């Protein structure tokens, strides 16, 4: 298992190299001078030159890259042009709400999708299965922002059960914190739930046709044990893959939902930074989110090994 | 023969409900077996032998629309009438099963020890520790090499023969009265086959457990079984002792099967005998004798009227209108055949 973990982590090195180059190139591929773009049309050439100098944009491009990557190793993502604070600090301040939202959305998705997926697989082709499959189709087809607007209208405005928009930090109390996250969590989590449910259904269904399920039944186990202990665990690798993928999209997909619900997360930081042409922040956030993706994939890979001994024992 | 039979199957029918209508895979099977007996069930692929054996412990309950008719009596209880929870107490406890392909029949994500212990803990009140010790003991009994090490290994780390020994250890965990072995050696190398057969016979003698051995290999039958049921299209067409099977097979189908065994001492230039035609689909079974479409002796009576079960000698019964004439050489092969 240890060798497997080390191997997975070492294989990240080339990935990280490509990520930093791509992220860095992002700014330099943009046409025109980044400083001029930031300062706007009224800026004089002297202002632009001055900003180029403070930001180091007058140095050769390879040197700029090396300086930037060197800074990354020290945890320095550069300074924001607009916020007058380090990019790292800005990301850290906005990460909390995004992560909270992603966790709520993922929890809603998992709590719904896995049990329903198993039930649909077990009762395949029954009316219940058809109904659940219908729901999952609708769940995948309805865009998150539309669902968000409906939820705001019915649950927030008409029924007044939950706040329409806004955010309360965890410091205000747990209920206060989560109250604000339920509607955005549902809006964000529905598509994930639909995807995970479909994968759970098809994966469990496939495992239920395997020979060892007969063996397990011939031992006299009850069906709940057959399903949860044997079928689900064997079906879990594809499910885990979808969970990993959807968790990544939760963080990025939150951009729209955060804007609609006015949650001060990474999404809002990105939107505002784009409007302000605050490209060091954009660059920092892109890098950060990409790293998050990589990290989630690593965790998923490690979990494969935990779920299936053939993964951790066979690969030499 | 006066003792109560271990297993008494009476007129068992297993129906599947498919899109194309009802298909009867097991069609009126009756037989009984004594405690400690090894009974062979022989037939070609698709003759219903696997479905029949799985019907005994109702493993098909979980498949799509299945229904059973008749009786399967184990110690006086009709298994077909039991509630699901009562049935679960019989599976793996009084009756166990070993399947054909050991690798796919074991759960790949649990260790060998866990899978044996699971059976034990399902039916006996044992602590984890006790279950593990018992599992080790069972593995040792199957003669697997270095059993201590195997406990913590996963199925894919073992050879086919070892996997089948593990399957047997799982099946024997609760000392069942009846072991149903569904082609347990078919997927194994010939040398390993012999070892597994030996193990089954040894355990049968030591534990006194009855074995229902499903196979398509008459060689295996001759080695281990005390009596044999020959199945064709969902019915038992002939049943007898193993000695009678080879000395005096009476049903044309059984005779065909025996003549199809390749012989080491025979003339090499002689063509291998095959039974003409193929097994008809379950959807259009012949209405008279099931074998009529392939039988060299069949006439209109065979094609239209189902033969009754006739007793040829003590313990030897079969379904054929003309077996006496055939065995006396009074009936010529017509139509198909060689």
> Looking at residue B283, what is its pLDDT?
81
Check CB contact of A103 with chain B, cutoff 8 Å.
Answer: no
Identify which of B234, B184, B212 has the alpha carbon closest to the alpha carbon of residue B47.
B234
Query: Are A64 and A140 within one domain?
Result: no
Measured distance CA(A215)–CA(B66) in Å, rounded: 19
Q: How many CB atoms lie within 10 A of CB A204?
A: 25
The whole-number pLDDT of residue B335 equals 56
Q: Would A128 be classed as within a structural domain?
A: yes
A101 with A70, same domain: the answer is no
> A102 and A71 in one domain?
no
Q: Which residues of A touch B85 (CB under 8 A)?
A: 222
Helix (H, G, I), strand (E, B), or coil: what is residue A138? helix
Report d(CA A100, CA A92) in Å as an integer.
Answer: 13
Q: Identify whether A17 is part of a domain.
A: no
pLDDT at A157 over 70: yes
Is residue A229 situated within a structural domain? yes
Higher pLDDT, A231 or A35: A231
For residue B337, the model assigns a pLDDT of 43
Residue B168 · residue B141 · CB < 8 Å = no
Q: Give the residue carrying structure tokens 């759970």.
A: A200
Average pLDDT over residues B205-219: 92
Same domain, A56 and A185: no
Burial B239-259 (b: 16+ CB within 10 A, else e): bbbbebbeeebbbbbbbbbee
Inspect the interface and report whether the beta carbons of B154 and A313 lie closer than 8 Å. yes
pLDDT at B196 over 80: yes
Residue B154: is its pLDDT beyond 50?
yes
Q: Do B99 and A310 touch (CB under 8 A)?
A: no
pLDDT reported for residue A282: 86
Co-location of A152 and A301 in the same domain: yes
Task: Please state the three-class secondary structure of chain B as a single string.
Answer: CCCCCCEEEEEEEEEEEECCEEEEEEEEEEEEECCCCEEEEECCCCCCHHHHHHHHCCHHHHCCCEEEEEEEEECCEEHHHCCHHHHHHHECCCEEEECCCHHHHCCCCCCHHHHHHHHHHHHCCCCHHHHHHHHHHHHHHCCCCCHHHHHCCCHHHCCHHHHHHHHHHHHHCCCCCEEEEECCCCCCCHHHHHHHHHHHHHHHHHHCCEEEEEECCHHHHHHHCCEEEEEECCEEEEEEEHHHHHHCCCCHHHHHHHHCCCCCCCCCCCCCCCCCCCCCCHHHCCCCCCCCCCCCCCCHHHHHCCCCEEEEECCEEEECCCHHHHHCCCCCCCCCCC
User: How far lies A261's CA from each of A107, A156, A160, A187, A267, in Å?
Assistant: 19, 11, 15, 10, 11
Domain's final residue, options A23, A43, A76: A76
Same domain, A63 and A170: no
Query: Of A76, A109, A131, which residue sits at a domain end?
Result: A76
Rounded to a whole number, what is the distance in Å from the CA of A214 to chain B's nearest CA? Answer: 7
Q: Do B107 and A215 touch (CB under 8 A)?
A: yes
pLDDT at A314: 57
B216-251: pLDDT as tens digits: 889 899 999 999 999 999 999 999 999 999 999 999
Surface-to-core class of residue B76, CB atoms within 10 Å of its CB (0-12 exposed, 13-18 middle, 19+ buried): exposed
Q: Who among A217, A220, A307 is closest to B109 (CB)?
A: A307
Q: Do B154 and A221 touch (CB under 8 A)?
A: no
Number of domains within chain A: 2
Q: Tell me the per-residue pLDDT of B137-151, one tens digit each, with 9 for 90 and over.
A: 999 999 999 999 999
Q: What is the pLDDT of residue A31?
A: 67
Is residue A25 assigned to a domain?
no
Cα–Cα distance for residue pair B180/B198, rounded to 1 Å: 16
Which strands, in side-by-side order, build the sheet including B210-215?
Answer: B95-98, B178-182, B210-215, B38-42, B227-232, B235-241, B316-319, B309-313
A contacts of B105 (beta carbons < 8 Å) = 211-212, 214-215
Please state, in angstroms and rounded to a whole number, the distance separating the CA atoms of residues B251 and B327. Answer: 9
Higher pLDDT, A29 or B78: B78
Length of chain A as a residue count: 316
Average pLDDT over residues B295-316: 91
Residue of B54, B93, B167 with shortest CB distance to A220 = B93
Q: Has residue A88 been placed in a domain? A: no
Model pLDDT for residues A3-51, shown as the tens digit of each residue: 878 888 888 889 888 988 988 887 777 766 767 777 777 778 888 888 8
For residue A168, pLDDT over 50 is answered with yes
If phi over 0 gives left and psi between -120 and 50 gives alpha, with beta otherwise, what is residue A256? alpha
CA distance B171 to chain A (A): 8
- In this complex, which of A219, A233, A234 lies closest to B91 when CB atoms are compared? A219
Which residues, in sequence order, are bridge partners of residue B68? B14
Of residues B57, B85, B106, nearest to A212 (C-beta): B106
Mean pLDDT value across chain B: 90
pLDDT of residue A32: 66
- Predicted pLDDT at B166: 95
Q: Do both A175 and A233 map to the same domain?
A: yes
Q: Would the CB atoms of A217 and B62 count as touching at under 8 Å?
A: yes
The phi and psi torsions of B105 (rounded to 5 degrees) equal: -90, -5
Q: Say whether pLDDT at B51 is over 80.
A: yes
Mark whether A143 and A260 lie in a shared domain. Answer: yes
- Is residue A24 domain-resident? no
DSSP string over A177-192: HHHTTHHHHHHHHHHH
Chain A positions touching B57 (Cβ under 8 A) are 218
**Interface size, chain A vs chain B, as Cβ–Cβ contacts under 8 Å:** 77
User: Is residue A6 domain-resident?
Assistant: no
Q: Which residue of B has its CA nearest to A122?
A: B62
Give residue A40's domain range: 34-76
How far B115 CA lies from chain A's nearest CA (Å)? 9
The residue of chain A nearest to residue B91, with distances taken between CA atoms, is A220
* Closest CA–CA distance from residue B90 to any residue of chain A (Å): 7
**A107 lies in the same domain as A255:** yes
Tell me if A210 and B154 make a contact (CB, 8 A cut-off).
Answer: no
The 3-state DSSP class for residue A137 equals helix
Which carries the bigger pLDDT value, residue A293 or residue B129? Answer: B129
* Assigned token pair, A1: 């298992």
pLDDT at A277 over 90: no
Best of A1, A205, A215 to substitute, by most chain B Cβ atoms within 10 angstroms, is A215
CB-CB neighbors (< 8 A) of A307 in chain B = 109
Tell me which of B68 and A174 has the higher pLDDT: B68
Nearest CA in chain A to B123: A220
Beta bridge partners of B239: B229, B317
Q: What pLDDT was estimated at residue A164?
A: 84
Helical packing angle, A61-73 and A12-29, nearest 10° = 130
pLDDT of B292 over the 80 cut = yes
Last residue of a domain, one of A42, A76, A110: A76
Q: At residue B278, does pLDDT exceed 60? A: yes
| A174 has a pLDDT exceeding 90 | no
Whether A316 shows a pLDDT value over 70: the answer reads: no
Nearest to B64 by CA among A126, A187, A175, A199: A126
> Among partner residues A215, A222, A313, which is closest to B106 by beta-carbon distance?
A215
Tell whether A107 and A208 lie within a shared domain.
yes
Task: Tell whether the model's pLDDT for residue A301 goes beyond 60.
Answer: yes
Residues A68, A99 share a domain: no
Interchain CB contact of A209 with B (< 8 Å): no
The residue of chain B with its CA nearest to that of A219 is B92
On whether residue A82 sits in a domain, the answer given is no
Q: Indicate if the pLDDT at residue B179 is higher than 90.
A: yes
B34, B208 contact by CB (below 8 A) = no
Distance CA B273, CA B277 (A): 12
Decide if A308 and B156 are in contact by the 8 Å CB cutoff. Answer: no
pLDDT > 80? residue A121: yes
Look up the CATH number of the domain holding residue A279.
Answer: 1.10.3720.10
Partner residue opposite A308 with nearest CB, options B57, B88, B109: B109
Please state, in angstroms and rounded to a whole number, the distance separating the CA atoms of residues B132 and B153. 13
Q: Give A-chain residues touching B89 at CB under 8 angstroms.
A: 220
ipTM: 0.88
Mean pLDDT along residues A206-221:
94
State the pairing for strand pair B38-42/B227-232.
Answer: parallel
> Looking at the predicted structure, is the pLDDT value of residue A143 above 60?
yes
| pLDDT at position A55 over 80 | no
Closest chain A residue to B100 measured between Cα atoms?
A211
Closest CA–CA distance from residue A15 to any residue of chain B (Å)? 31
Asked if the C-beta of A220 comes within 8 angstroms of chain B's C-beta atoms, the answer is yes
Over residues A59-114, the pLDDT tens digits come to 888 888 888 888 888 888 888 878 888 989 999 999 889 989 999 999 999 999 99
Does residue A199 share a domain with residue A112?
Answer: yes
């Amino acid at each position: 298992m240890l060798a497997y973990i080390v191997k997975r982590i070492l294989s990240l090195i080339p990935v990280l190299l490509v990520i930093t180059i791509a992220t860095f190139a992002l700014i330099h591929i943009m046409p025109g001078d980044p400083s001029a773009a930031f300062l706007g049309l009224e800026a004089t050439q002297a202002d632009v030159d001055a900003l180029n100098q403070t930001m180091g944009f007058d140095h050769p491009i390879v040197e700029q890259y090396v300086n930037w990557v060197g800074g990354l190793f020290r945890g320095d993502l550069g300074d924001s042009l607009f916020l007058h604070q380090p990019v790292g600090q800005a990301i850290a301040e906005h990460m909390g709400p995004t992560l909270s939202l992603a966790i709520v959305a993922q929890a809603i998705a998992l709590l719904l999708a896995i049990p329903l997926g198993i039930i649909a697989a077990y009762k395949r082709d029954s009316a219940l299965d058809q109904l659940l499959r219908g729901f999952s189709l609708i769940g995948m087809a309805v865009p998150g922002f539309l669902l968000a607007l409906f939820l705001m209208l019915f649950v927030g405005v008409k029924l007044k059960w939950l706040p329409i928009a806004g955010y309360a930090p965890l410091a205000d109390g747990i209920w206060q914190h989560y109250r604000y996250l339920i509607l955005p969590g549902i809006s964000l989590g529905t598509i994930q739930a639909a995807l995970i449910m479909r994968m759970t259904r098809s994966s469990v269904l496939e495992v239920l046709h395997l020979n060892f399920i007969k063996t397990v039944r011939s031992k006299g186990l009850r069906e709940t044990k057959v399903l949860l202990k044997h079928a689900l665990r064997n079906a879990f690798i594809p499910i885990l893959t979808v969970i990993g993928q959807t968790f990544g999209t939760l963080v990025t997909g939150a951009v729209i939902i955060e804007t609609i619900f006015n949650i001060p997360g990474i999404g809002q930081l990105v939107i505002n930074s784009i409007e302000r042409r605050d490209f060091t922040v954009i660059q920092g956030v892109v890098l950060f989110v990409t790293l998050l993706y990589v990290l989630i994939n690593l965790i998923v890979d490690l979990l494969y090994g935990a779920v299936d001994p053939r993964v951790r024992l066979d690969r030499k | 023969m006066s003792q109560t039979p271990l297993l008494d199957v009476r007129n068992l029918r297993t129906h599947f409900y498919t899109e194309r209508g009802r298909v009867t895979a097991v069609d009126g099977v009756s037989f009984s077996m004594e405690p400690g007996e090894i009974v062979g069930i022989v037939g070609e692929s698709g003759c219903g032998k696997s479905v029949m054996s799985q019907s005994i412990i109702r493993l098909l309950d979980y498949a799509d629309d299945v229904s059973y008719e008749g009786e399967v009596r184990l110690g006086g209880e009709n298994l077909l009438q039991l509630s699901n929870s009562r049935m679960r107490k019989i599976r793996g406890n009084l009756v166990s099963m070993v399947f054909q392909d050991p690798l796919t029949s074991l759960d790949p994500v649990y260790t060998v020890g866990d899978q044996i212990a699971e059976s034990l803990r399902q039916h006996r009140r044992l602590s984890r520790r006790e279950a593990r010790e018992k599992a080790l003991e069972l593995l040792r009994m199957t003669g697997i090499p270095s059993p201590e090490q195997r406990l913590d290994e996963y199925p894919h780390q073992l050879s086919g023969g070892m996997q089948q020994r593990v399957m047997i250890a799982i099946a024997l965990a609760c000392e069942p009265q009846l072991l149903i072995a569904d082609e347990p050696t078919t997927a194994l190398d010939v040398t390993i086959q012999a070892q597994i057969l030996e193990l089954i016979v040894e355990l049968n003698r030591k534990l006194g457990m009855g074995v229902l051995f499903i196979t398509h290999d008459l060689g295996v039958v001759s080695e281990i079984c005390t009596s044999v049921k020959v199945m064709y299209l969902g019915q038992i067409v002939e049943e007898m002792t193993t000695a009678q099977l080879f000395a005096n097979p009476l049903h044309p189908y059984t005779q065909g099967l025996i003549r199809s065994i390749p012989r080491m001492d025979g003339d090499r230039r002689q063509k291998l005998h095959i039974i003409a035609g193929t097994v008809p689909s379950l959807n259009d079974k012949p209405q008279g004798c099931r074998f009529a479409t392939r039988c060299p002796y069949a006439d209109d009576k065979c094609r239209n009227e189902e033969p009754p079960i006739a007793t040829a000698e003590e313990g030897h019964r079969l379904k054929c209108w003309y077996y006496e004439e055939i065995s006396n050489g009074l009936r010529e092969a017509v139509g198909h055949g060689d």
